[in-house]
Amino acid sequence: MHPRERLAFSPIERRPPLRLPDGIRLVVWPVLSLEDWDLSRPMARMVITPPQSAPQLPDLPNWSWHEYGMRVAFWRIAKMYARVGAKPTVAINARICETYPQVAQACMDSGWELNAHSYSRSPCTSWTISVPSSPRPCR
C-alpha cells in the first residue's frame, strides 16, 4: 500500500497546532549509533588525519577511538540513560552482535529499541552495485 493511500496529504500550514500532553513543548528522541568496521579496510570516518594524508591499513589511530567507545564510552552512556530514565533507539549494525555481544545484550536488557543499520560499516563510495541485464519478474 502506498503511504498516500493511508494518510491524506496535509500541508503543515493547514494543520492545527500540535498539542503535547501536560503542556510539554519539546520532545527529545535519543538515538545511539553502534557500528563496527572491518579493520582491514579504510575507516569510514577519520578523526585523526593520517600522516602525509596517506591512509594506513590497518588504521590503528582511528580504530582506537572506536574501541574506546565500545569498551568504555558505551557503558558510561548506558549508565547515564538509566540514571535519567531514557531509552534510546539504537542504530546498530549486525556485526556488533558478533564482535561485541555484551554490548548488544546490554541494549536488549535495558529495553532499548534496536534499529537495524546494515551488517558492517563501510564507506558507501566503496560499494559496488550490480544490476541484472534483464530484470526478473517478482513472484
Question: Total domain count for the chain?
Answer: 1
The DSSP call for residue 85 is T
Does 72 map to a domain? Answer: yes
- Using pLDDT thresholds of 50, 70 and 90, give the confidence band for residue 5: confident
Give the helix/strand (H/E) hosting 32: strand 31-34
Q: What does the pLDDT read at residue 80?
A: 97
Quote the cell numbers at residue 62. Answer: 582511528
Which residue has cell 570516518? 45
Tell me if 111 is assigned to some domain. yes
Please give the share of the chain, as a percent, with pLDDT higher than 70: 81
Task: Look at 2-11, 27-36, 68-77, 99-108 and tell me which has the smallest mean pLDDT.
Answer: 2-11
74: number of Cβ within 10 Å: 19
Kindly report, residue by residue over 81-94, the tens digit of the pLDDT.
Answer: 999 999 999 999 99
Tell me which of 81 and 137 has the higher pLDDT: 81
Q: Which domain holds residue 68?
A: 31-39+58-121
Does some domain include residue 20?
A: no
Instruction: Give the pLDDT of residue 38.
Output: 79
Dihedral of alpha carbons 33, 36, 40, 41, sign: negative
Residue with cell 529495553: 111
Whether 85 is covered by a domain: the verdict is yes
CB neighbours of 99 closer than 8 A, spacing ≥ 6? 36
pLDDT at 132 over 70: no
* Ramachandran angles phi, psi of 9, nearest 5°: -65, 135
What angle in degrees, to the nearest 10, is found between the helix axes of 101-109 and 74-84? 0
Residue 16 belongs to a domain: no
74 within domain boundaries = yes
Residue ranges of E strands in 28-116: 31-34, 89-92, 113-116
C-alpha to C-alpha distance for 47 and 38, rounded to whole angstroms: 17
Compute the average pLDDT of residues 33-53: 76
The answer to the question of residue 132 being in a domain is no
In a domain, 127, yes or no: no
Total Cβ atoms within 10 A of residue 2:
5
